[in-house]
Amino acid sequence: MPRRFASRWTALLLAIATLAASCNPAISGAGGGSLVGSAAPALSGADLTGTGITNLETLRGRPTAVVFWLNTCPHCQRELPEVQAAWPTLQETANVLTVGMLNPDLAGSPPFETPRAFVEATGLTLPTIEVDPLEAIENWRLEGVPVIFVLDEEHIVRAVYLGAGHIDEAAQALAVLATD
């Protein structure tokens, strides 16, 4: 097996193990948290809600929450409807982008076989794209899911919340950034 393929395969296995482990309910101090103070990595894709292409760059100018999730993660399956429910209080001052990832090694149970199926089954209307989990782990330094990255209006990462149960904290951080 060529070295590049072997190292990519090893990285993918580590990535899947990391995403499957998930949910340390604390603000991340490493991994994604190491992006705090840095520009958010590029992120774009076809919107799973059917509204064309969504590009993080087009959301610049307002604070933005980027929520990564995995279709097979039970914590994500409970958290995303709560993110959707919190959206009306944020939509005048901030953006929310959710980012679904397909777990290639674990089949999702109906109705969550894929990120698109999850979006359809839950009625998610927030801008939602699907990205390759390996790229997300490499670019965003993900340690688990769900994870919320809070970006300022220039899309500098200001906070990272790893695990379920941080929607209120992320919403408060967005509100503070919107008033600065």
Domains of the chain, by residue range, sit at 3-179
**CA 9 – CA 157 distance, rounded (Å):** 29
Q: Among 7-21, 51-65, 115-129, name the one with the lowest average pLDDT.
A: 7-21
Instruction: Name residues whose C-beta falls within 8 Å of residue 168's C-beta, 6 or more positions apart in sequence.
Output: 86
Average pLDDT of the segment spanning 67-76: 95
Distance (Å, whole) CA 163 – CA 143: 10
- Predicted TM-score (pTM) of the model is 0.84
Would you state the CATH architecture of domain 3-179?
Answer: 3-Layer(aba) Sandwich (3.40)
In the predicted structure, residue 19 carries a pLDDT above the cut 80: no
